[in-house]
Structure 1
Amino acid sequence: MTWFKNATIFRLGDKPDAIQLNEQLAKRPFQPCGGLDWFSEGWTPPAGHLEQPVFVTRGHMLLNLRREDKVLPAATIRAAVDAKVAEIEAKDHRKVGRKEKLALKEQVTDDLLPRAFTKPFRVSALISGGWLIADTGSSPRAEALVSKLREALPPFPAALPRTKTAAHAAMTDWLAAGNAPGAFELDSDAVLKDGGENGAEVRVSRIDLTSDEIRQHIATGKQVTKLGLIWNEKIRFQLTDTLQLKRIQFLDVLQDEASQAGDDRESLFEATFILMSEELGELVEALVEALGGLEDSQQHKEAA
């Protein structure tokens, strides 16, 4: 089990039924890219020892979307087209026109695509309580995962969380005050940005965030767009103004606890997943509370 390194968070309107979700994802397995396909994506078991696409334990679910993209640089296509154009012009003693070049480009692409290299990546996600947490810092990849879930189990209501206090405003207030609320504490890195036309940005790392230097940046009107935090002395991460968690580090106290669950692969996998799901779920709940709670529309969804 690999600990999540990032978290893009979605609020679920309704928690999906695990059995139904498993059945629907099993109908959409990952298949490698075909000859003329630019990409392929589908669901795979979250670990090598598993057979089903959804791993479920203690009410938590883990799933894995895999994607494969063909790598065919534009320069490679252009060079092959230029070679064909030169060959035709030398053989037929005529100029190759624009429409013919476009047709040659399509032909060359079709010829090269089956032999192109592929670039694979995967996005794992867990469902815990009222949250879907995707292990990615890329918004497009997270949205693509949710889109595939909607295809499998429509309408799959999931939305980015909307809190009563904007993340950038809260982080700026925390930094100005020199402390974070509740079980959160300031770490040693931040990004501050000027809201003016020049958009000046200041990045600080391995620095005391309660220093006068930091307060001076805030006094000149800069807003915090990324802030290093430690939660409950267990998880270190960077919070962004879009409510993403990046550079997540599960500290030794959690990793030691997981490792004591057993020596075999299956036991360690399950223990790590349970621990990670519960801790991340609690962190997200605490973070939302620190930001004033969810907007009323998303609270109503929870009650439904």
Structure 2
Amino acid sequence: DGVLRVLGHYGVGVAGRRVLVIGRSWLVGRPLAQQLMSRGATVTVVGSDAEGLDRLCGDADVVISAVGRPGVVGVDCVKPGAVVVNVGTTFTDDDLLPDIMPEAEGPHPASLLVHSVGPMSVALLMRNVAANARTADVARAEATADTCALPESAIKKRLQSLPCWSLVDRCGHSRLQRAFWMPTFACVVDFISEAAVLADHMNHHPNLQVTHQCTDGAVLDVDIFTFATSSVTSFDFELAAALTRLYQDMFGAGIFAPDVRMSDFNYTLPDELIAQYPASPR
């Protein structure tokens, strides 16, 4: 990418031109050759020990060396007006030597000689790291022992915006609780699967208990509290609100409710409890 950026910066087009890439590594040479070919260049890829390398350099309109062998491309091998880009470098005790050595005296025959793309590569690497960080799904920080517990007054006020949730005390710890009714056990399983992904993303997790009611559906009891503080915190309200939205998205705002059967309300009233008419005087 650094080489292509440099060529683009100097207005060097590669379409229809002969490009020689010296270096067949999977890190630089071969990926670069593929990108150049996708832009219409006629590309030749060789190693530093290729037979007739001087001739290949003399025929190329663009020479790119990425082998890490000082002087692999001599000045007298480059045809006048060619574009030469040096990628490979070699560390010595006292210096950093490029693959393409500049001419000691006088102008270089190349119309453009790029001594190094190192700074460009570093800049692009940092750009890619930053771009990846912006798009990465980073888990939020979890609650700790220093997370502030909400006072009861604040909890009750927040509960006004979370219908069906309540504040309960269990084992000496306050927690938020709600029962989610669903028509089938399979629906509960689907909901729990989605809730697990959601909780992992929020880095905060609920406690769940499923009660299957046969033909009357199933109930998922959810209670939420912050384990690190053994109290209710803002983390719990955020998770409760997210689970509520998930429930509404999956099953609709109207929500499922068990069918009302009149037989459930049948009862027998003993005759002696039925008022007689005319009533007997008391």
Q: Which structure shows the bigger proportion of residues in helix conformation?
A: 1
Q: Which structure shows the bigger proportion of residues in strand conformation?
A: 1
**The structure with more radius of gyration:** 2
**Which structure carries more relative contact order (alpha carbon 8 Å, separation 6+)?**
1
